[in-house]
């Protein structure tokens, strides 16, 4: 049945040239790291926060997490606090997702 065929000298030199090029093109690790999501939501008394929320037609935990750079779990807690304060209203709720709209 035999094993693998022995490569010719020409094939060996071609393979060495290709690996030599690949070693030169090794990607440098980037020194820039992506921002880590915050665990502290913005303050509820902030007027800028209220005006920002009024601009959004549909408010979901994901939209708040991306807009304010929060963890998703922190955004859910933040939305619950906003609902208790009366700044947003619950529109629809399922097992996995809650959808809100600005109050008023």
- Interval 14-31 mean pLDDT: 67
Whether residue 42 is contained in a domain is answered as: no
Whether residue 12 is contained in a domain is answered as: no
- Interval 1-21 mean pLDDT: 84
- Integer-rounded Cα Rg, in Å, for the chain is 27
Query: What 3-state class would DSSP assign to 57?
Result: coil
Burial readout 14-34 (b: 16 or more C-beta within 10 A, e: otherwise): eeeeeeeeeeeeeeeeeeeee
pLDDT in tens, 12-22: 998 888 887 55
Two tokens, residue 23:
């070693």
Whether residue 2 is contained in a domain is answered as: no
Whether residue 30 is contained in a domain is answered as: no
Whether residue 54 is contained in a domain is answered as: yes
Number of domains the chain is built from: 1
Higher pLDDT, 75 or 39: 75
CA dihedral 27, 30, 34, 36 (to 10 degrees): 110
Whether residue 91 is contained in a domain is answered as: yes
Q: Nearest Cα to 45, choosing from 83, 90, 85, 88?
A: 85
Whether residue 25 is contained in a domain is answered as: no
* Rounded Cα–Cα distance for residues 100 and 84 (Å): 12
Give the CA diameter of the chain: 80
Whether residue 10 is contained in a domain is answered as: no
- Boundaries of domain holding 76: 47-102
The pTM assigned to this predicted structure is 0.60
Domain CATH code at residue 63: 1.10.10.10
């Amino acid at each position: 049945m035999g094993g693998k065929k022995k490569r010719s000298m020409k094939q060996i030199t071609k393979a060495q040239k290709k690996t030599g090029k690949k070693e030169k093109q090794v990607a440098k690790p980037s020194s820039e790291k992506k921002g880590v999501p915050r665990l502290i939501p913005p303050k509820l008394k902030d007027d800028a926060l209220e005006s920002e929320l009024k601009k959004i037609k549909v408010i979901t935990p994901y939209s708040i997490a991306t807009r304010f750079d929060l963890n998703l779990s922190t955004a859910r807690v933040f939305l619950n606090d906003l609902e208790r304060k009366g700044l947003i209203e619950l529109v629809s709720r399922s097992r996995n997702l809650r959808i809100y709209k600005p109050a008023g």
